[in-house]
Structure 1
Amino acid sequence: MSLTEALRDRIQGLIKADAVVLFMKGTRLRPACGFSAGVVEVLDSLVPQWTGVDVLADAELREAIKEFSAWPTIPQLYVRGEFVGGADIVREMHMSGELSTLLGASEVRPPQVHVSPRAAAVFREVTAEAGPGEAIRVRISPRFEHDLAVEGREAGDLEVVAEGITLLFDRMSAARAEGLRLDFVERDGEAGFAIDNPNAPAQVRSIGASELQGKLAQGAVQLFDVRTPQEQAIAAIAGARLVDEAVRAEILALDRGTPLAFHCHHGVRSQAAAEFFVSQGFREVYNLRGGIDAWSREVDSAVPRY
């Protein structure tokens, strides 16, 4: 295929969107091939923040990036705007330590962490009988799953003291923890730690029909329909735009802070569409739970069910 100027500009925009950009099959949370999964694992072990671009969701982009880089396979890694290579090169650079240097992975500092007085009190209780050298360990996985445990210190740990509590982080957990807030809450007869991590990547938010109706009434979100034109002719939500190539390009040109909502028949296709736009950097993306069928049942019975 011919690499048009529009495609070239789009690719350059994607590459400039973050210091580390991986054109891959699937997403960071759900790699769709072994080679992409291998590079994801390497990047997740070295840097807390990077951007993945799912080429499976865009056949045009999948072919264009190969011509752009003069590299025939996917995945492809770019660092600070420069092409690094594919899966084999990434693996070799990782083993030699060159990739860690390129990514600046060694520059990890103890994070700023806020511990609420209530959480600190509970931490003191659970560490009252801790052994020598043990403290609260905070683990943050590449998927930003959080785990708290009482454990001993390990080589390379970074220590943070907040509200009089010593917290232990391994290097990559520390890199994912800047601004972390730990609280302890009691609600509806249950109690537990509440963790707020501002570094966690955006995820698709499930939204009910009534809540979506309210947001639409306030003009707080744009709604898009990912069904076929034939389905839209049967039943439609007022104001929803059918996603074709032109509309898709319009969405991609929007500011990444623009709230987006997607729907289909029952919510499966629109979930995939919503995940694609999250992968493109949009931070507030909703999927209508139950699709237009739920809208008909819960909001507007005049919309036909099929």
Structure 2
Amino acid sequence: MEDSTRKLIDETIKGNDVVLFMKGNPAAPQCGFSSQVVGILDGLIPGYATVDVLADGAIREGIKEYSDWPTIPQLYIKGEFIGGCDIIKDMYADGQLEEALGLETSEVEPPEISMSASAIKAFSEALQSDKELVRLEIDPKFQTGLSIGPAKPKDITVKAGELTLHMDRASASRARGMSIDYVDGAQGPGFKIENPNEPPKVRPMTVKELRARLDETPDLALFDVRPPTERDIASIQEAKALDPDAQKTIMALPKETPIVFHCHHGGRSAQAAEFFVSHGFKMVYNLMGGIDAWSQEVDSNVPRY
């Protein structure tokens, strides 16, 4: 590693209480692991420093050598290397991450969860031994997982008839009022889960719908999450770059403001849209097909790449 790279990493870590080396930025994480860690940190502290390793190859490889850790993301708190995604999730689940951040570890009461008789029966039949139990996991995006597995330290438990659900602290805080049923559907039987805590979802928007919206509302909040190198190749005239200043601007908008995000094909902008939905925005759209679809269906003068 070059001395200049080591110095930059060192100064960044020492100059900030909390630093996350990640792919992308909090508004538009460029990998699922970075997105998970951002979701955890956003739920605990109001702000923290981030470094987009995709923007600098020297930093990307240098931080791996600096930390002696092969993957991204990497979290530092008060100059100490904490770990990657799995370690951070485990620390969050048992309260250690709050302690590391200097926060009081909050007590989480077991949530009220209703489970139908058919769901209880389905799980009871799936359990193979007394050592197996049902685990419930709800991630920061409110994606729910039900599985069979062992108990873990500091699990929070909820009784449902003769069945006991096990979950970590984070999942328990997101599960209040949840209902679980087991029903017959078009593709066969499966679990039906309803969670009143789930935030509004990202809405899809076609490129033709966007064109009509822009004709009606020229100052529509439209943001391009792609890096400058891609925007230099092709861009939608009305779109603004989603940089840190733009992120601050969005955060100051009323939560009912319609906001549209786009990228090349729609994947990266979906992550950005989910970030702002998680922060309470109610009318967030992702442009389906991205600027590539715009070039094909709306404006052929916009280059494809």
Normalising by structure 2, report the TM-score: 0.53
Q: CA deviation at 1:121?
A: 1.4
User: Is the partner of 1:107 in helix, strand or coil?
Assistant: coil
The partner residue of 1:24 within 14, 20, 25 is: 20
Structure-to-structure mapping, 1:72-221, within 5 angstroms = 85-88=78-81, 99=99, 103-105=103-105, 107-115=107-115, 117=116, 120-127=117-124, 137-140=134-137, 142=139, 146-149=144-147, 156-162=154-160, 164=161, 166-172=163-169, 173-197=171-195, 207-209=205-207
Q: Distance in 1 between matches of 2:137 and 2:167?
A: 9
Equivalent position of 1:293 in the other structure: 292
Give the conservation status (yes or no) of the 8 Å contact 1:229–1:242: no
Q: CA RMSD in A?
A: 5.4
- Measured in 1, the distance between the counterparts of 2:185 and 2:214 equals 31
1:50 is the counterpart of 2:44: yes
What fraction of aligned residue pairs are identical, expressed as a percent? 32
Residues 134 and 235 of structure 1: CA distance in aligned 2, closer, same or farther (over 3 Å): closer
Q: Distance in 2 between matches of 1:112 and 1:104?
A: 24
Q: Which residue is equivalent to 2:58?
A: none
Contact 2:199/2:280 (<8 A) preserved: no
Name the CA distance, whole Å, in 2 between partners of 1:281 and 1:87: 32
State the alpha-carbon separation in 2 of the partners of residues 129 and 275 from structure 1: 34
Relative contact order, CA 8 A, sep 6+: which one is greater?
2
SS in 2 for 1:30: helix
Alpha-carbon distance in 2 for matches of 1:301, 1:111 = 51
**1:263 and 2:262 matched:** yes
Please name the residue that 1:251 is paired with: 250
Contact between 1:259 and 1:284, CA under 8 Å: does it hold in 2? yes
Alignment gaps of 5+ in structure 1: 1-20, 60-73, 78-84
Q: What does 1:220-259 align with in structure 2 at a 5 Å threshold?
A: 222-225=221-224, 236=236, 240-243=238-241, 249-256=248-255, 258-259=257-258
The alignment partner of 2:292 has SS state of helix
Hey, what's the Cα distance between the residues in 1 that align with 2:283 and 2:49? 18
Give the match's secondary structure for 1:25.
strand
Q: Which stretch shows the higher mean deviation, 247-256 or 203-212?
A: 203-212
CA distance in 2 between counterparts of 1:101 and 1:229 reads 36
Deviation, structure 1 residue 201: 7.7
Secondary structure of the structure 2 residue equivalent to 1:108: coil
Alpha-carbon deviation of 1:294? 1.2
Cα distance, 1:111 vs. partner? Answer: 0.7
Cα shift at 1:243: 2.8
List per-residue Cα deviations over 1:180-209 (Å, max 9, x = no partner).
Answer: 332334443333113344556888666543
Name the CA shift for 1:210/1:101 in 2 (closer, same or farther; >3 Å).
closer
Q: Tell me, which stretches of 5 or more residues in structure 2 are unaligned?
A: 1-16, 56-73
